Amino acid sequence: METERITIYDIAREAGVSPTTVSRVIAEHANVSAHTRKKVRKVIDQYHFTPSRIAQELLSKRSLTLGVILPGVTHPYYAEMFEGAYQEACRLGYTLILFCLPQNEPLSASLMDQIARRRVDGMILSGGIVEATPERELIPMLRTLRRSMPILTICPPLPDVDCINIYSDLSSSVRQSLRHLYNLGHRRIAFLGGSYESRSAGERELGFLDEMKKLDLPAVYRHEAGHTAEAGQLGVIKLLSSLTDQRRPTALICINDLVALGSLTQLHHMGIRVPEDIAVIGCDNQFFAPYTSPPLTTVDLHPAEHGRVAVQQLVAALTDEAMNFSQPRPAVLIIRESCGVSLGARRFE
């Protein structure tokens, strides 16, 4: 065969398989046997074959395009999630289109129409977008969208929606932080950040309250403070302003690393030492966490891995019958100096 004119049909003929099987091997779909995959790959490598995008679309009758809806990519968590999804989409031969909404802006019918016009094969929605949309509006929109494509949500499970769902074990993230602080001797532990109306924040809040109850500790130090560094600064002021030094918490669990960053800044301004006077733990394990002063103890929620897995599951749903399932991803505590681990277990007055 002439390598300049070789087509996917030539590869299929020489390998003794169908063109569809060759297409599945190229896209790395799971429903091809190891023997067949090896045989097709041998022919592909022999002729250094690279399929054209047009040929792949004609074979699959799909656009080879996926969509992802995020509340912007300026937040490091969502930027990392998008990067993971983008890299995996490229690896599997798909284009990834970003539909960007401002923070806390809900999904709209006009955006759904825009998605339909772009002919995407499947859609990924992040938790920030899902939570910003009232459930009475969200569920009908997702059901309508689901009739034309598979959907994957990255958030706590949604009721009554036929979609794939992956999510971090948010309750575990708080429980791990709380247990770690308890083992270091802390008994007055505060929870800072989020919104009580947010499902993900509410899940962490419930985890905090339940674990405090199990440890027989008073859950009196809680303050709703948003999700930004500025919110962390303001939250610390409001949390500590009415407390004497003897009554203030000795440890602070923040809903994310940005709130923790603002908290560290404000505690420094107030002359409160971290971790000697107050231990601080964040959540997300963002890129700046090792470089704060002191380096931030935090919980890794693996946003890039969420993005990669989301694309893998969505592509798999395009070739097999889409499944409705939820897949929790473990949260991992990353211990650094801000929690006071180097000081060892202590007794606080």
Asked if residue 192 is part of any domain, the answer here is yes
Q: Do 43 and 152 belong to one domain?
A: no
Question: What are residue 168's DSSP bridge partners?
Answer: 329
46-50, 146-150, 288-292, 315-319: range with highest mean pLDDT: 288-292
Query: What is the distance between the alpha carbons of residues 301 and 283, in angstroms, rounded to a whole number?
Result: 8
Query: What is the distance between the alpha carbons of residues 251 and 236, in angstroms, rounded to a whole number?
Result: 12
* Averaged pLDDT, 241-247: 83
Q: Do 130 and 245 belong to one domain?
A: no
pLDDT band for position 92 (50/70/90)?
confident
> Picking from 54-58, 171-175, 192-196, which range would have the lowest pLDDT averaged per residue?
54-58
Count other Cβ atoms within 10 Å, centred on residue 105: 15
Asked if residue 46 is part of any domain, the answer here is yes
* Averaged pLDDT, 48-62: 59
**177 versus 323: which is more confidently predicted?**
177
Asked if residue 347 is part of any domain, the answer here is no
* Residue 319 contacts residue 24 (beta carbons within 8 Å): yes
pLDDT reported for residue 219: 77
Q: Is the pLDDT confidence value at 53 over 70? A: no
Name the token pair of 180: 């770690």
What's the first-to-final CA gap in the chain, in angstroms?
82
What are 276-315's pLDDT values in tens digits? 999 999 999 999 999 999 999 999 999 999 999 999 888 8
pLDDT band for position 234 (50/70/90)?
very high
pLDDT reported for residue 56: 53
Q: Is the pLDDT confidence value at 30 over 80? A: no
Among 300, 318, 344, give the residue marking a domain's end. 300
Q: Is the pLDDT confidence value at 226 over 50? A: yes
Q: Is the pLDDT confidence value at 59 over 70? A: no
Q: Do 295 and 185 belong to one domain?
A: yes
DSSP string for 6-35 = --HHHHHHHHTS-HHHHHHHHTT-SSS-HH
Residue appearing with tokens 């509340």: 71
Asked if residue 144 is part of any domain, the answer here is yes
φ, ψ of residue 31 to 5 degrees: the values are: -85, 45
Domain that holds residue 17: 8-51
Q: Is the pLDDT confidence value at 4 over 70? A: no
Q: Do 186 and 289 belong to one domain?
A: yes
Q: Do 319 and 267 belong to one domain?
A: no
Name the token pair of 51: 């399929």
pLDDT reported for residue 277: 95
pLDDT reported for residue 269: 96
Name the token pair of 15: 């390998």
* Averaged pLDDT, 39-50: 84
Q: Do 105 and 185 belong to one domain?
A: no
Q: Is the pLDDT confidence value at 156 over 90? A: no
CATH at residue 323: 3.40.50.2300
Asked if residue 280 is part of any domain, the answer here is yes
Q: Is the pLDDT confidence value at 93 over 50? A: yes
Specify the number of domains making up the chain. 3
Q: Do 179 and 278 belong to one domain?
A: yes
Asked if residue 150 is part of any domain, the answer here is yes
pLDDT band for position 51 (50/70/90)?
low
pLDDT reported for residue 207: 85
For the chain, what is the mean pLDDT?
84
How remote is the C-alpha of 339 from its chain's centroid? 24
Q: Which one, of 69, 268, 274, 34, lies nearest residue 155 by Cα?
A: 69
Q: Do 282 and 196 belong to one domain?
A: yes
pLDDT reported for residue 175: 92
Q: Do 266 and 163 belong to one domain?
A: no
**315 versus 245: which is more confidently predicted?**
315
pLDDT reported for residue 188: 94
Name the token pair of 65: 């395009």
Q: Do 154 and 94 belong to one domain?
A: yes
Among 300, 315, 336, give the residue marking a domain's end. 300
Residue appearing with tokens 């971790």: 275
The secondary structure of residue 1, as a DSSP letter, is -
Query: What is the distance between the alpha carbons of residues 297 and 282, in angstroms, rounded to a whole number?
Result: 6
Q: Do 283 and 323 belong to one domain?
A: no
pLDDT band for position 2 (50/70/90)?
very low
Asked if residue 56 is part of any domain, the answer here is no
Q: What is the sign of the dihedral through the CA atoms of 177, 181, 187 and 189?
A: negative
Q: Is the pLDDT confidence value at 200 over 70? A: no
Query: What is the distance between the alpha carbons of residues 341 and 232, in angstroms, rounded to a whole number?
Result: 22
Asked if residue 38 is part of any domain, the answer here is yes
Query: What is the distance between the alpha carbons of residues 310 and 86, in angstroms, rounded to a whole number?
Result: 10
Q: Do 39 and 91 belong to one domain?
A: no
